[in-house]
Structure 1
């Protein structure tokens, strides 16, 4: 693969703007979003990292894959297919959305996967980098590892990205619905009675996957993000569509395919749908 000089980031939400603002120091970065015309946006970043960066923002419907050497997709899961419709896979594409609903789509299109571990929130063009982590990427097909200039994003290549995605799913399936329904920051999930619900969800998750994800991993994520408000909680509070269909709904289909009876996860899914509808 040729050296990476130009990076396209699809999705101008909090994660997309964080990545664009940190990569723009070393690469030519174009941000794509649901806007009507091309402009230059000034992204202000505070928190774990500070800085002000100008980045080109283009309408996603004008996306041209010949203008980038690699693409990161940072949209919500239900927006992935529309956001990537103009991409062929000839240029590496890494879908960094939550859940597993996009796994089959990525395989079908010849795309790859990424997992974002940073904490970030957005207010207009100002973003708060609330937690340092990694951007973990990997291929779903025979593709050589890709390296990047070192930055606070800490982009790392994973040989088994599918397992990384399953780990993130476990964390999201536990943290997001509990915090959204109880309207609490992540750290509360480790305290009774939320901890009891977390353990019940975890037990059902382990029955659906052959990969082992220790509960201590979930605990470590919660501890690192204790003061954060999950994306599902923020979506419910802002009357936006949640990612329940990317995080919880596919688990119901997986349980049906495996002949596994679930109790807690279906209840959480219905409650989130109800909470979203009532906002």
Structure 2
């Protein structure tokens, strides 16, 4: 299959590697010419959790210069949530059969009615990944890639992922895309703001008892907003992700450290709007939201 991945950060590179291993024709669309050149020149490197290194060959060029003469089976949008609208404008003009979104938070779901393609799907990534340089990604923690159709036509995404199990990159189909995204939103809303404010890796949220109590307080507030059942099951799930990605610096922490815009609006901003609709006042989420916003320097 011909697959284009828009966004060459840690998640885009991780997906490019494992989909290339499945035999697909992969093109990574980068923001900079320099990164595209290095990916073509050196290949895409992955450092596994056991420190073994593998290299695959991928195509790469910048999004601004990309044109496709042949149909693209699946376009994977792996950019930040606040970049989706701009990327979507470009993709609408290309010959793309199916689009898969991988963003944190849920702010990007407001754009779904504008997507003109007949097949649309979403994915949540529970793997730990760290971009080392322009052509290397470190797979720091094996988790799940969960995905679901928002609307379905030719089953292109299911064909892309295939049926063969990969113990290093397990894939799980979910029936309910909204519940799947809300479940991941719980994880994002609890881990990202706290790691950004405390300047700690994911694992420290459960290893340090004071941090763990803060994590539980945020979790309880998020659950009140989303009105989820099975609280304890989801709490265990959240703690397991912290442990599985213990060495990871969350994307929000990395953004703060590098003076970049965060995805706080798509995560806590989305929850605060939902809380307003439910007439629920969350002082804790409001505090976290403005604490992160105050540290954004971009």
TM-score by length of 2: 0.84
* Equivalent residue, structure 1, for 2:32: 35
- TM superposition shift of 1:244: 0.9
Preserved contact between residue 14 and residue 139 of structure 2 (Cα < 8 Å): yes
> Relative to 1, partners in 2 of residues 1:142 and 1:23: Cα closer, same or farther, differing over 3 Å?
closer
Q: Deviations over 1:118-162 (max 9, x none)?
A: 111112211111011222111112444714243443333221122
Q: Does 1:98 align with 2:104?
A: yes
Q: Give ranges in structure 1 of 5+ residues lacking alignment.
A: none
Worse overlay, 78-87 or 150-159: 150-159
Partner of 2:14: 18
Structure-to-structure mapping, 1:198-217, within 5 angstroms: 198-212=215-229, 214-217=234-237
Structure 2 CA distance for aligned equivalents of residues 184 and 218 of structure 1: 16
Partner residue in 1 for 2:246 = 226
Residue 186 of structure 1 aligns to a residue whose secondary structure is coil
Q: Which residue of the other structure, out of 110, 122, 126, is the alignment partner of 2:131?
A: 122
Cα separation, 2, equivalents of 1:188 and 1:153? 24
Structure 1 position 192 matched with structure 2 position 241: no
- For 2:13 and 2:269, the matched residues in 1 are separated by 28
Aligned to 1:236: 256
Asked if the contact 1:32/1:63 (under 8 Å) is kept, the reply is no
Q: Give yes or no for the alignment of 1:135 onto 2:145.
A: yes
Aligned to 1:54: 57
Query: Which runs of 5 or more residues in structure 2 are unaligned?
Result: none
Equivalent residue, structure 1, for 2:269? 249
Tell me which of 71, 78, 81 is aligned to 1:74. Answer: 78
Q: Which runs of 4+ in 1 moved over 4 A?
A: 36-39, 142-145
Pair 1:115–1:14, CA change in 2 (3 A): same
The whole-number CA distance in structure 2 between the counterparts of 1:226 and 1:259 is: 35
**In structure 2, what is the equivalent of residue 172 of structure 1?**
188
CA contact (8 A) 1:106 1:112 kept: no
Whether the aligned pair in 2 keeps the contact of 1:14 and 1:122 (CA below 8 Å) is yes
RMSD: 2.2
Q: Is the CA contact (8 Å cut-off) linking 1:63 and 1:86 kept in structure 2?
A: no
Going by fraction, where is helix more abundant, 1 or 2? 2
TM-score (norm 1): 0.90
Equivalenced residue count is 274
3-state SS of 1:133 partner: coil
Check whether the contact 2:102–2:124 (CA below 8 A) recurs between aligned residues.
yes
Instruction: Report if the CA contact (8 A) 2:128-2:244 is conserved.
Output: no
- Measured in 1, the distance between the counterparts of 2:101 and 2:175 equals 16
- Structure 1 residue 23: Cα displacement: 1.6
